[in-house]
Homo-oligomer: A and B are copies of this chain.
Amino acid sequence: MAVRVRIEDVAEVAGVSMKTVSRVLNREPNVREDTRLRVMKAVDELKYTPHLSARSLAGSKSYLIALLYNNPSASYLMGVIEGVLEACEAENYHMMLCPLEDEDERIVAATEDLIARSRPDGLLLTPPITDSPALLQRLAELEIPFASVSPKVQSEVIGVAMDETRAAFDIVTHLASLGHRRIGHIVGHPAHGASGWRLNGYKQGLERAGIKFDPALVVQGEFSFDSGVLAATALLDLKQRPSAVFAANDDMAAGVIRVALERNLRVPGDLSVCGFDDTPMSSQIFPALTTVHQPTDEMGRIATMELLAAIRTPHSGQMVRVPYTLRLRRSTGPLQA
């Protein structure tokens, strides 16, 4: 640690004033190229790193963004976090994690508290918090910048999203191409935008394949393994049971496989199963799950970049689309007679 080098030291070595160093570091205009280089050189030599608290105090910015979440999927979150950290590092920002409750009121209260205590420069919302009406309204009042990952309503909001409807459409099309006609769907948690998109994609896939939509084949779940087990039980108890099930996420798909195997049905021989998300579990389960890969780290990275843009210059930033990837694995196969 030895002696801390301060901006003053850099200024002296470079033969300029503190302010000029500050300008260079903050990429402000009005610095001649050669003095800029001289300053940079001094910074390198001294291995100078600005003191975050001092910048923060003087500039009344916190260089902090808060990642709000109440999504229980560890792999999803860690993916997003990885991307957020990458983007933060590039801009010398810090990220703080804010696990929230489920109820709308508590979300708002916790967020207000958070803002008061930690004064983040911006917020990153992840589903389903992205769609909390109370929070969205409060954030608008507070005029604090935020970006959303996969929000339900994507107009007037910046962040990142994937064409989940299209992905679900592709999944169903895949099943239909294998000969399946009775394709069940387990809907996700009603609070998540993803549930609606994936259901719509399911319907569109059926339509494209010329399969009539049958409400009996659609069961409500809530994204959890247990809800998948319940839903699968209902579907497999049907007199005319489906030959394929598209669950709105991997956890529920795992529930379907569980029920199928417990009934001595073969997967995919007797029942094809698809999920969504490509969690690590999906490739470890037997049989490995056909699913949709979300580039969670990329999404975290992009959402953060848009947020930082909006922090830098108000009202900038946009809603970015990222591509998905189908992961066709062993849990889906041709319809058996």
Contact = CB atoms under 8 A, between A and B. Distances in A.
Interface stretch (A76-84, A164-172, A212-220): A76-84
Of listed A52, A115, A255, A286, residue having the most chain B CB within 10 A: A286
A232 to B, nearest CB: 12
Which 7 A-B residue pairings sit nearest by Cβ, starting from the closest? A53-B56, A74-B78, A74-B74, A281-B281, A254-B284, A53-B53, A74-B75
Question: What is the total number of copies of this protein in its complex?
Answer: 2
B97 A85 contact: yes
30 contacts: A1-B115, A52-B62, A52-B117, A52-B119, A53-B53, A53-B54, A53-B56, A53-B57, A53-B62, A74-B74, A74-B75, A74-B77, A74-B78, A78-B78, A81-B97, A82-B99, A92-B117, A94-B94, A94-B118, A95-B96, A95-B97, A225-B283, A225-B284, A251-B284, A254-B284, A254-B285, A258-B286, A262-B286, A284-B285, A285-B285
A280 B94 CA distance: 29
Contacts of A191: none
A142 interface: yes
Interface of A is mostly: helix
Given A261-B286, A280-B74, A286-B286, A54 B57 contact: yes
Interface string A54-91: 10110000100000000000110111011001000000
A13 to B, nearest CB: 18
Of listed A53, A261, A283, residue having the most chain B CB within 10 A: A53
A137 interface: no
Interface of A: 1, 47, 49, 51-54, 56-57, 62, 74-75, 77-79, 81-82, 85, 92, 94-97, 99, 115-119, 142, 225, 251, 254-255, 257-258, 261-262, 280-281, 283-286
A322 to B, nearest CB: 20
A118 B1 CA distance: 13
Given A74-B79, A258-B284, 5 more contacts: A52-B62, A57-B57, A281-B284, A285-B285, A286-B286
Contacts of A78: 74, 77-78
Contacts of A258: 284, 286
A118 B261 contact: no
Contacts of A79: 74
A53 B118 CA distance: 9
A85 B69 CA distance: 13
A280 B228 CA distance: 14
A194 to B, nearest CB: 19
Contacts of A255: 284
Contact of A49 (B97, B117, B283): B117
